[in-house]
Amino acid sequence: MDKRIEAFLNNELSEQELQLLEEQLKADKSLAEELAFYLSVKKLAARSPREDRLQDRHREWTQMPKNGQARPLGKWIASVAAAIIVLIGVVWLLNTNRGTDLRVESSRYMADHFQTLSVQMSAEQDSLQMAISAYNADRPAETLAICEHILAGQPGHSEAQRIGGLAALRLKDYDKAIRLFTELGDNTSLFGNPGRFYEAIARLQEGSEANRKQAELRLHEVIDQDLEGKKEVQKWLNQP
């Protein structure tokens, strides 16, 4: 087995290596055929009628005439079309499986880390502590309203952005969560800023293809810039 295929099947390729493999698949028909074969053997995705049709086309493409004669032009064109279909299927599996896995991982992280917030001890119950109490009592709409009130008077208040973003995420108001986490991540004066990591989580939860791609960029940014959440992201992306 080609080492590139083995690395792909074991989910050991980086984003850059995956992009390189896609380019190589377009240029190397035998590599695309081999990868399609191993994908079938390994059953990386649940079989569907659509995949069965792709496999049938692929078998037609790989069968040689019994008399050894060259194929007619129409058969050759069909072969090229089959190769393209297989390539599209591989790329679709690559992107869909990775996007689904990242969304699942982000959901697990939310369940483990976003359920309650630490209560800050002080002599008075200020607005931020009221927001924390409301969040822990599962009143995210009230939490968000308090944080937005704080931000109206103190734009750039990092804790109000963080807690407000978490409340918006719980409300499934993904656009607002993304905006608040993006603003938090833009604050370069903070030590241990989780903004970029949380923004990626919000984008993954929103689930659209555009936000999934943006989320992957943010996750790589967390690793490259050694930001908060790096160890978790390395596990998600299977990076050392």
- Amino acid sitting at position 115: Q
Q: How far apart are CA 221 and CA 223, in angstroms?
A: 5
If we measure between CA atoms, which residue out of 169, 198, 166 comes closest to residue 182? 198
Q: What is the pLDDT at residue 85?
A: 55
Q: What is the pLDDT at residue 58?
A: 53
- Which tokens go with 229? 């959440």
pLDDT, tens digit only, all 240 positions of the chain: 677 777 776 677 777 777 787 777 777 777 777 767 666 555 444 444 544 555 555 555 555 454 545 445 455 555 555 555 555 555 544 444 455 589 999 999 999 999 999 876 544 458 999 999 999 999 999 999 999 999 999 999 999 999 999 999 999 999 999 999 999 999 999 989 999 999 999 999 999 999 999 999 999 999 999 999 999 999 999 877
Question: In sequence order, what are the residues at sequence separation of 6 or more whose Cβ sits closer than 8 angstroms to the Cβ of residue 207?
Answer: 103
Write the CA distances from 228 to 91, 148, 176, 185, integer angstroms.
Answer: 31, 24, 21, 10
Q: How far apart are CA 8 and CA 126, in angstroms?
A: 52
Q: What is the pLDDT at residue 20?
A: 81
CB 135 within 8 A of CB 143: yes
Q: What is the pLDDT at residue 24?
A: 79
CB 107 within 8 A of CB 205: yes
Rg (CA), the chain: 24
Q: What is the pLDDT at residue 139?
A: 96
Domain ranges of the chain: 3-100, 114-236
Other CB atoms closer than 10 Å to residue 204's CB: what's the count?
A: 27
CA 44 distance to own-chain centroid: 18
Q: How far apart are CA 211 and CA 99, in angstroms?
A: 10
Q: What is the pLDDT at residue 33?
A: 72
In the chain, what is the straight-line distance between the N-terminal and C-terminal CA atoms, in Å? 24
- Per 3-state DSSP, the chain is made up of helix, strand and coil in percentages (nearest 5) of 70, 0, 30
CATH classification code of 114-236: 1.25.40.10
Q: What is the pLDDT at residue 38?
A: 61
